[in-house]
Structure 1
Amino acid sequence: MGRVIKYEGAAMDTATVGRLKAFARGEATWAEVEGMTFEEAKAIAQVGCELAGAGRLEEARILFEGLVEGNPRDTASRAALGTVYQKLGRVPEAVTEYCAALEGDPTNPVALVNRGELYLRQGNRQGFTDLARAAEADPEGVTSAGRRARALVRAIALAAVETMKDAPAKEAPARA
């Protein structure tokens, strides 16, 4: 895969110039200018996931930040970057990435469940809505995010029922 960055002073081909102009107008991502394929981006993301899974969070962060910089419209990479930020304790940045992922894909279960959990920890009721939407986005529980969302919604509902059982019954006002 040839890279524009390796430009050595020879005349640029028309296609490259067109991609650069499209990038300057905001019509193309840098990944498109560079000619990065979906398969290449997916392979890099897989390495990022493996690094994160092995606890090598800083290395995973670097890969996902690069993917997002190259293609800010890549909602899966944005959600993965948010997850890495969350694991690193960088909560505001994680929420920013989850929100950006959800702008492009409002049903992204990873972004929904993780943002939902962070919002709930902050006392923000939007968190429950996010969890419910994540469970709806994956009703069969195909993804781990969908299964986690369903488990959290169930746990919250059970906790609410227990709280209601333990609360003293309010007496009805006396009628005259």
Structure 2
Amino acid sequence: MGRVIKYEGGLMDTATTEKLKAFVRGEMTWAEVEGMTFEEAKAIAQVGCDLAAAGRCEEARILFEGLVEGNPKDTASRAALGTVYQKLGRLQDAMREYSAALERDPRNPVALVNRGELYLRQGNRQGFTDIANAVEADPHGETSAGRRARALVKAIALAAVEKMKEAKAQA
């Protein structure tokens, strides 16, 4: 890549000037100004996922923060950044990224299942809704997030049944 806009005096070309004006007006992301393609962003995100899977979360954080900074509309990168923050114990930052992803894509299974789990850990019932929505977003468990959501629903249901049995036995 290496496409940081360079200005060495003189006149800037019209196309670059218009892109910069569009960026300032909020009509373009920095990734669009720089001409980053979907394939390039996807390749960088894959490296970030591989780093996180290898336990190199600080390096993954840097990549995903860069992707989100370049394109704040990228819900997949926001959800992935949230996941990295969660692994790093930065739970407030993770919640912020999951929520930002869900503002743009309310059916993002990664953001739904991970935010749902964080809500449940806080004792917030919104977690049940998020996890149920994650299952609805991926009803056949085609993604790892969808499979995880389904597993959490089963675990929650089993725990509820056990509590009911205990309550009945004590009555």
Deviation per CA, 1:15-60, whole angstroms, max 9, x where unpaired?
1111100110011111111111111111110110011011110000
Which residue number in structure 2 is paired with residue 135 of structure 1?
A: 135
Give 1:3 deviation, angstroms: 2.7
Letter of the 1:138 counterpart: D
Pick closer, same or farther for the CA change 1:165–1:2 going to 2, 3 Å: closer
Deviation per CA, 1:59-78, whole angstroms, max 9, x where unpaired?
00000000000000000000
Whether 1:76 and 2:71 are equivalent positions in the alignment is: no
Rounded Cα–Cα distance in structure 2 between residues aligned with 1:41 and 1:119: 30
Rounded Cα–Cα distance in structure 2 between residues aligned with 1:2 and 1:82: 26
Rounded Cα–Cα distance in structure 1 between residues aligned with 2:20 and 2:4: 9
Rounded Cα–Cα distance in structure 1 between residues aligned with 2:55 and 2:82: 15
Aligned-pair identity in percent equals 82
Rounded Cα–Cα distance in structure 1 between residues aligned with 2:123 and 2:48: 31
* Structure possessing the higher radius of gyration over alpha carbons: 1
Letter of the 1:48 counterpart: G
Rounded Cα–Cα distance in structure 1 between residues aligned with 2:54 and 2:4: 33
Counting only pairs closer than 5 Å after superposition, residues 28-107 of structure 1 correspond to structure 2 as 28-107=28-107
Rounded Cα–Cα distance in structure 2 between residues aligned with 1:138 and 1:40: 26
Which residue number in structure 1 is paired with residue 147 of structure 2?
A: 147
8 Å CA contact retained: 1:4, 1:16:
no
Which residue number in structure 2 is paired with residue 120 of structure 1?
A: 120
Rounded Cα–Cα distance in structure 2 between residues aligned with 1:128 and 1:33: 40
8 Å CA contact retained: 1:2, 1:35:
no
Give 1:169 deviation, angstroms: 7.8
Rounded Cα–Cα distance in structure 1 between residues aligned with 2:137 and 2:4: 39
Deviation per CA, 1:73-130, whole angstroms, max 9, x where unpaired?
0000000000000000000000000000001110000000000000000000000110
Q: TM-score, normalised by structure 1?
A: 0.93
Moved over 6 A (4+): none
Q: TM-score, normalised by structure 2?
A: 0.95
Q: Secondary structure at the match of 2:157?
A: helix
Letter of the 2:115 counterpart: R
Letter of the 2:107 counterpart: T
8 Å CA contact retained: 1:112, 1:130:
yes
Rounded Cα–Cα distance in structure 2 between residues aligned with 1:166 and 1:135: 28
Give 1:4 deviation, angstroms: 4.5
Rounded Cα–Cα distance in structure 2 between residues aligned with 1:3 and 1:80: 24
| Ranges in structure 2 where 5+ consecutive residues have no aligned partner | none
Q: Secondary structure at the match of 1:167?
A: helix
